[in-house]
């Protein structure tokens, strides 16, 4: 973990409620797809944990949904604002476990960390496929960026307004895959784990108090007992989780 000051380079709306913030500065502790940062916002006691959607030299991208006063305040920050950020949090995904044809499955704001992972897998010569799940067509984001990586992409919407009608599990049988990586709400992760044909990794979106393992408020039960999503996670192996 590393505490740094990062500067807002841009903060743009992707959908009605989803924004992308690019932060510049010392991001040396952000080394692996699937990790997260903890952002301090002026006037709010608890930090906001947000997964890293992408990393380039000297900057990171955070994609977040405005669900409360804190994230709404965050969406109003302009270029040049300086934020206190804890970086290098979380274990992240293991790209070495992917096999040749990994399947990446994201639901809602669980989609962002999969983009950096997808880019890394392509860079390593793998052939990933992607399933993006949303409730409605107007909530879809990042589809164009995944397609720009020249990977197969399936979009599902619960109401059928875009792509496959239903949930991400309704599209899983359309792909031949060697391993899977998933991120999304708990019901989605449970369904993916039950429907998958291979081993895989699940990234949990638990609410966090401290973000670095002190409060035990984000624990998930595993075969080895409770683990902290912020410290031992957020990525856990499919075979380790007790539902």
Query: Is residue 11 domain-shared with residue 103, that is, in the same domain?
Result: no
Q: Determine, yes or no, domain membership for 47.
A: yes
Residues near 187 by beta carbon (within 8 Å), at least 6 away in sequence: none
pLDDT of residue 227: 87
Model pLDDT, residue 25: 98
Q: Which of 122, 133, 113 is nearest to 62 (CA)?
A: 113
Kindly state whether residues 8 and 44 are assigned to the same domain.
yes
Please indicate, yes or no, whether residues 154 and 183 belong to a single structural domain of this protein: yes
pLDDT of residue 57: 85
Q: Is 222 within the bounds of a domain?
A: no
d(CA 90, CA 50): 11
Q: How far does Cα 35 stand from its chain's mean position? A: 8
| Same-domain status, 65 and 104 | no
Q: Is residue 239 part of a domain?
A: no
**Model pLDDT for residues 144-194, shown as the tens digit of each residue:** 999 999 999 999 999 999 999 999 999 999 999 999 999 999 999 999 999
Domain that holds residue 191: 95-205
Task: For strands 48-56 and 59-65, give the pairing.
Answer: antiparallel
143 Cβ contact partners less than 8 Å away, ≥ 6 residues apart: 132, 153, 155
Cβ count near 241 (within 10 Å): 17
Note whether 10 and 77 are same-domain residues. yes
Of 89, 120, 135, the residue that ends a domain is 89
Q: What is the DSSP letter of 112?
A: H
Cβ(202)–Cβ(190) under 8 Å? no
| Number of structural domains the chain divides into | 2
Integer Cα distance of 215 and 228 in angstroms: 9
Q: Identify whether 158 is part of a domain.
A: yes
- Position 211 scores a pLDDT of 57
Q: For residue 129, tell me if it sits in a domain.
A: yes
Between CA 158 and CA 137 the distance in angstroms is 9
| Distance between first and last Cα of the chain | 29
In a domain, 75, yes or no: yes
Summarize pLDDT for 76-95 with one digit per residue, the tens.
Answer: 999 999 999 999 999 999 99
In angstroms and rounded to an integer, the radius of gyration of the C-alpha atoms of the chain is 17
Please say which residue of 89, 117, 136 terminates a domain.
Answer: 89
Where do the DSSP E strands lie in 166-238?
Answer: 179-183, 200-203, 219-222, 225-228, 235-237
Strands 219-222, 225-228: pairing is antiparallel
Residues of the chain with pLDDT below 70 are 206-217
pLDDT of residue 207: 61
């Amino acid at each position: 973990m590393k505490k740094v000051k990062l500067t807002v380079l841009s903060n743009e709306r992707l959908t009605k409620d989803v924004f992308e913030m690019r932060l510049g500065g010392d991001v040396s502790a952000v080394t692996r797809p699937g990790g997260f940062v903890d952002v301090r916002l002026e006037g709010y006691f608890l930090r906001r944990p947000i997964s890293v959607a992408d990393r380039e030299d000297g900057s990171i991208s955070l994609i977040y949904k405005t669900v409360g006063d804190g994230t709404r305040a965050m969406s109003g920050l302009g270029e040049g604002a300086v934020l206190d950020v804890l970086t290098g949090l979380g274990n992240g995904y293991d790209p070495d476990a992917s096999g040749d044809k990994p399947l990446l499955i994201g639901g809602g704001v669980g989609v962002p960390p999969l983009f950096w992972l997808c880019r890394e897998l392509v860079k390593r010569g793998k052939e990933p496929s992607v399933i993006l799940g949303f409730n409605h067509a107007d909530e879809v984001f990042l589809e164009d960026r995944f397609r720009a990586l020249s990977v197969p992409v399936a979009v599902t919407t619960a109401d059928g307004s875009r792509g496959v009608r239903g949930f991400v599990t309704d599209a899983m049988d359309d792909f031949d895959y060697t391993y899977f990586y998933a991120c999304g709400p708990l019901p989605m992760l449970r369904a993916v784990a039950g429907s998958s044909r291979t081993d895989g990794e699940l990234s949990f979106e638990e609410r966090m108090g401290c973000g670095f393992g002190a409060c035990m408020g984000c624990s998930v039960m595993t075969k080895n007992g409770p683990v902290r999503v912020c410290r031992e996670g957020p990525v856990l192996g499919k075979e380790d989780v007790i539902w």
